[in-house]
Amino acid sequence: MAQQYFLHNRDNPDSNKIDFYLQNGGYKALETVVKEYSPGEVIEIVKKSGLRGRGGAGFPAGVKWGFVPKYSDKPKYLVSNADESEPGTFKDRYILEKEPHMLLEGIAIASYAIQANIAYNYIRGEFVYGARVFERAVQEAEEKGYLGQNILGSGFNLKVVNHRGAGAYICGEETGLLESLEGKRGWPRLKPPFPAVEGAFKCPTIVNNVETLANVPLIINNGPDWFSSIGPDEKNTGPKLYCVSGHVKKPGLYEFPMGKNLKELIYEDCGGMLNGSLKAVIPGGSSVPVLTADEIDVSMDFDSLAAIGSMLGSAGIIVLDESTCMVDALLNLERFYAHESCGQCTPCREGTTWMVKILQRIERGEGRVEDMDLLDDIAEKINFRTICPLGDAAAMPAASFVKKFRKEFEAHVKKGKCPVKKDKSIKATHAHV
């Protein structure tokens, strides 16, 4: 098994304590950064590493940092996006609970790079344990002088504030998050202006995913060349966490270099299918286009998945076997998006629920021949026409399910009932983490 950087301490109950972290070389990267590098140099290093955002969009982290106006007299903020709520995704939760100091060190380095003196960790409300662990980690780091005033004698100050969300998927969208952080309704903002120019409290703000930030100390310690040597090519680099759920023998959290082969991951590392044969895989969290069983011999990286019309997203891999009814599965997803739509933009607010109603009808056996085209058309009319990507996230699964599993949808209509023998008795017998 390849070298691991996140999961190697998963069996150690002390992995989230600062003493353990320090014994294993923790906070060396921060020390190097504040003592030896200028903020600009840190940004250059991260750019060179090729680190791309792990939250879903895959935007190069260093480039994003570079968007912060250098000569603005406004305060700058760093926000760690720990509102992990994409169905099928549970990697940030692991970092928060087991490796909070990796995250904190990453937050500190990123804050130094953009010269922020306040950083927020916006953590999903349901992550009660994670919030507690993180807060303790902040306290430990402050006591040891890795956070707070004049960090390691460098003159750099950083206050890290843990902010718990109140339970909305939309607050994981960076501008919805910022609104919520400011105490308002989590309604995503119109862009431009982008947060790097006008973010939290109208000041330049960088919002990064937890896993993205946790990679930063590794880049500093081992160098950008080391980081970019991991992965299939210079645009898809670094170690990567993969969350596998569904009908496999060993679901759970896995770490491999960027570009792990999906088929290999399912059939070798996860022990293959639980019972039946493979029907479909959602490779990057519930929002991304679904893959059929024939499409899974693919490298799990941003560009390879994009090339076959899907996305790496959050690398939340949902494996579905033949006992899954694709209409029912899509209904489940769309019900989620309809429930989580903020209601601001028309297509998402109205379209998601419309799709749910159609899918419910098809699943009940009252579908019409024209419903498949209608679903596809509604998805098309939502896609790219909303303020934030939640609309796209609801549209992409719908379009891909209908396109790739149209026969199954049609079978529902023809038979006047659901033709799939469902097995809803999955038990996670071998949870990997």
Partner 1 sequence: MPTFKLDGKEITAEPGTSILQAALDSGIEIPHYCYHEALTVVGSCRLCLVELNNSPKLVPSCAQNVQDGIEVRTHSDTVKQARESMLEFFLINHPLDCPICDKAGECELQDYTFKYGSSHSRMVEEKRVRPTKDLGGNILLYRNRCVMCTRCVRFYEDIVGESYLTVEDRGYRSDISIFPGKGLTHKMTGNIVEICPVGCLIDKDFLFNARVWNLETTKSVCPGCSAGCSINLQHKDNKIYRIRSRQNTQVNQQWICDDGRYLYHRYEKLERIGFPKKRGGEKLNNTSWAEALSIISDRLALVKRSRESEKVAVVGSAFATNEENYLLYKIFHDEIGCDKFFVYNREAEGEDEVIKSGFTVYSDKSPNYYGAKLILGERTDFWSEIKNGNIEVLYFLNGDIDIKVTDQQKELLKKLDFLFVQCVAMNDLVRLANVALPTAYFAEQSGSYVNAKGHVQKFQSALKPPSETKEGWQILADLYKTFNGGVSFVSVGDVVNDMAQNVSAFKDISFFKLGDEGLRIR
Taking the least distance from each CB to partner 1, the nearer of 230 and 394 is: 394
Task: For the CB of residue 368, give the shortest distance to partner 1 in the complex, in Å.
Answer: 8
Q: How far is the CB of 332 from partner 1 (least distance, A)?
A: 16
Strand, helix or coil for residue 282: strand
Q: How far apart are CA 276 and CA 24, in angstroms?
A: 43
Name the token pair of 53. 């955002």
Nearer to partner 1, 264 or 366 (CB): 366
Q: Say if CB 228 and CB 301 are below 8 A apart.
A: no
Token representation of residue 372: 């498949």
For the CB of residue 352, give the shortest distance to partner 1 in the complex, in Å. Answer: 7
Q: Please, is 3 exposed, middle or buried when counting C-beta atoms within 10 Å of its C-beta (0-12, 13-18, 19+)?
A: exposed
Which residues, in sequence order, are bridge partners of residue 161? 120
Cβ nearer to partner 1, comparing 162 with 386 = 386
Minimum Å gap between C-beta 390 and partner 1 is: 10
Task: Pick between residue 253 and residue 393 the one whose CB is nearest to partner 1.
Answer: 393
CB of 50 to partner 1, least distance (A): 24
Q: Which residues pair with 246 in a beta bridge?
A: 319
- Structural tokens at position 275: 């019972």
Q: Which residues bind partner 1 (CB under 8 A)?
A: 168, 170, 185, 190, 338-354, 357-358, 361, 368, 374, 381, 384-387
d(C-alpha 72, C-alpha 413), whole Å:
60
Q: Three-state DSSP class for 236?
A: strand
Cβ closest to partner 1, residue 165 vs residue 251: 165
Residue among 141 and 168 whose Cβ is closer to partner 1? 168
Smallest gap from Cβ 221 to partner 1, in A, equals 39
Q: Cβ of residue 63: shortest distance to partner 1, in angstroms?
A: 19
At residue 209, φ and ψ (nearest 5 deg) are -70, 155
C-beta of 189 vs 260, nearer to partner 1: 189
In terms of phi and psi (left: phi > 0; alpha: psi -120 to 50; beta: otherwise), the region of 309 is: left
Closest by Cα among 188, 200, 193 to 74: 200
